[in-house]
Chain A
Amino acid sequence: MTESNRLASGRARIDSLEMRGITKRFPGVLANDHIDFDVHFGEVHALLGENGAGKSTLMRILYGLYHPDQGEILLNGRPVIISSPTDAINLGIGMIHQHFMLVQSMTVAENVALGLPSSRGLLTDLDRVSKRIVELAEIYSLKIDPSAYIWQLSVGQQQRVEIIKALYRGAALLILDEPTAVLTPQEVDELFIIMRQMVKDGHALIFISHKLHEVVAISNRVTVLRDGRKIGTRPTSETTKQDLANWMVGREISFAPDRGNVERGEIRLKLDQVCCGSDRGTPGLCDVGLEVRSGEILGVAGVSGNGQCELAETVTGLRKITAGRVVLEGEDVTGLAPGELTDRMLSYIPEERMRDGMIREFTVAENMILREHHKRPYSRFGFLALSDISTHAEKLIAQFHVKTPSRETLAKNLSGGNIQKVVLARELSRSPRVIIAAQPTRGLDIGATEYVREQLLEQRRAGAAILLISEDLDEILALSDRIAVIYEGRVMDIVSREAATPQKLGLLMAGVHPEESAPAT
């Protein structure tokens, strides 16, 4: 083997990897249907598809977590059998999981050393591991302190630990499963720099995503999957975002939803110097002041964990406010219970839709009346009016295009997108005056995302005041009239739609005022 076939980490590179005719059946589902996929050194191959298209299944097969029913895997032209992650690691295949596989209470070095044989036999050799981590970090410009505990690190840093973990194990081919889902725009840029460095060095990278602009920005080739089948593979330079989206969904998709011109009305929701605690005992919100008008969407952008949950919970009466007031249509509603806010036509689309948005063991029809089950027409004198409830459910299922076998199906058996439609149906069909929407499209695929966004815009046209809390900057930019950025529980700034750019918002999300970061003149 010549020198050029080695990576900077000292491991042999993988020249090519090919998956041929991969088929995987789960009970009732054909997850992968004769899929061909290949990747070679020095490229980023993006794998694109909606939820349930079969991307994860295919990659889990490559990483040895699933075994294919049919098909073969060729490494450098020779067939290999990968029956466990250990096999994959030994072949030089690494995976960065969407949910980090890190032990929070252990150090970076301990996380890296876990599962590896030690040079000191039964004893750990963390000093040696730390030294090697520093070496690798230098080669790939990943800044990381081996003795830091994982819980002390930011999400972006934790991801770097995952990359180091794979490199340490000699990964020449790296599967990145939706790696940007949890990052700020700046962190995404940093990740891309690292990825380009790795590609230059001769690594092969598989990049899973459904964010089209990222796929276009980083990949050399792109393969699209839909419903378990491969639609095609193309060089990225020969495609556009629009092509890819249409390919992925199988129909025309609109990126810039039609916002229309909506007259802004009176102030419906006002937060005045609101403070509250958090579950961790630290301050959750500090002096937050916001106003949302009728016919307006106020977007709240920020990196996860900077007070978004607390904001949604204080406005909906789920969390105690320690200072300040919340005013709903001119009435001070500070400290009112969620039920009383419901009566004032406040609707809430919660972030954790499976936990806070519905009762998994209840039927679709029951979930659709949760908020107003105690009122007419759904109940009379304490008795449920079953026929009215059924009629109501049928109407909403049709109106919101909920794909469900029947109104009596248990909520837990629906897909993520349809669960969110049930929540939307319940919350939006009552003509709310104020809507709190927290991460309304998180985890949904393009089709469902498009639907949810259209519904929110529809409510805006109908004159509702909407507080949209989202960590997805594209979503914030596509929907909001004004954008508030929160950082460590404070509102950094509120900018108008016209003045907002991803760069500017990204800096604010990191706690930096753009003016401050500019060189003094």
Chain B
Amino acid sequence: MISDLFSTTVLIGILASGIRLATPYLYASIGEVFGQKSGVLNLGIEGQMLLGAFAAFYVALTTGNLWLGVLVAMIVGAVMGLAMAFVTVNLRAQQGISGIGFYLFGMGVSDLLFQKLLGTVETVKGFPKIFIPGLSDIPGVGEIFFSQNLLVYIAYLLVPIAWFVLNKTTLGLKIRSVGENPDAADSLGVSVARIRYFTIILGGILSAVAGASLSIALLNVFQQNMTSGLGFIAVALVYFGAWKPAGVLGGALLFSMINSLQLWIQVLGIPIPSDIAVMMPYVLTILVLVAAVSRVRAPSALTKPFERED
């Protein structure tokens, strides 16, 4: 019953899985932050995630090597990113539309490969939990924060790293300037094309790792369309987080906690229709975006192809 939710064990369980479930959001959204900061909207995250999830899962299943799975996923993500960069930078495509194209491509191809190569849902032994010595023994806190697998830890480490790169390095300065005023950057000898290629490929890699984190670290299975909109929520989180890694972290945690809560509601058999429970994160997406709208200005050149004025 509802009161079951408030036992210590359950609360810790909800928080621990909330921390864990934020992982794919973090990878995908941080990648998207880099892209959008440089003026590129990648709506194809979902497709990149699905391909990354499949690649990692398939390699892990056939070779038994999880890291090789992650590596192959990264390569697949980089190739997707490269294609996206070509379409976006060189062909100056309308980004909203081409992104949807990449999403459909990733979904279709991952589905096809799944049917040809696997056929049925199988499981792998995913990344094991790593108990951080000392810290993981702390009651409650240890279980919530310090008993996760490696991909989870790396995801959280990415947040300060992304902040540092964007705000404290010359590369970050270039990325931000290209997203705000590519003409200015160009006039100072910054290659707009090169920076955007970099951020889009980085976004592809991180999205693929986000998918891999689902298939070989969190759920340890691959199913058709297993991301079920998670990649689109990752895009929304970038807006919600006001293009800041820390903001994205807050948003990712909010969503993953709600998600975790609805999973536990189902597990505990609390009489809320499961459809309603499953809907919660998505309803929240809409509410949050409505609330967050116009709070912070998007990068000025977002979705605008760059062309040197003749």
Binding site for B on A (CB under 8 A): 26, 65, 84-86, 89, 95, 97, 99-106, 110-111, 113-118, 122-124, 165
Contact = CB atoms under 8 A, between A and B. Distances in A.
Chain A contact residues, majority secondary structure: loop
Nearest to B301: A103
Nearest to A122: B169
A105 B168 CA distance: 15
A110 B173 contact: yes
A105 B179 CA distance: 10
B187 interface: yes
Contacts of A86: 189
B187 A124 contact: no
A114 B300 contact: no
B228 interface: no
B244 interface: no
B295 to A, nearest CB: 14
B170 A104 contact: no
Contacts of B308: 65
Given A85-B187, A101-B184, A123 B173 contact: no
Contacts of B168: 123-124
Given A103-B181, A115-B190, A122 B176 contact: no
A113 to B, nearest CB: 6
B176 A89 contact: no
A411 B190 CA distance: 35
A108 to B, nearest CB: 13
Contacts of A117: 170
A115 B300 contact: no
Contacts of A102: 181, 184
A100 B173 CA distance: 18
Contacts of A85: 186-189
B170 A89 contact: no
Given A89-B189, A115-B188, A115-B189, A101 B173 contact: no
Interface string B210-249: 0000000000000000000000000000000000000000
What band does the interface of chain B fall in when counting residues whose beta carbon is under 8 Å from A?
20 to 34
B260 interface: no
B169 A104 contact: no
A104 B180 contact: yes
Given A65-B308, A85-B189, A115-B188, A103 B180 contact: yes
A106 B170 contact: no
Nearest to A101: B184
B196 interface: no
Nearest to B183: A101
Nearest to A105: B180
A116 B177 CA distance: 13
Given A65-B308, A101-B188, A103-B184, A114 B177 contact: yes
B180 A114 contact: no
A32 to B, nearest CB: 14
Given A84-B189, A115-B189, A123 B170 contact: yes
A95 B170 contact: no
A97 B291 CA distance: 39
Contact of B177 (A99, A103, A122): A103
19 contacts: A84-B189, A85-B189, A89-B188, A99-B183, A101-B183, A101-B184, A101-B187, A102-B184, A103-B185, A104-B300, A105-B180, A106-B173, A113-B173, A114-B184, A115-B188, A117-B170, A122-B169, A124-B169, A124-B172
Contacts of B300: 104-105
Contacts of A100: 184
A102 B171 CA distance: 17
Contacts of A101: 181, 183-184, 187-188
Nearest to B180: A103
Given A104-B180, A106-B180, A97 B170 contact: no
Contact of B169 (A103, A106, A123): A123
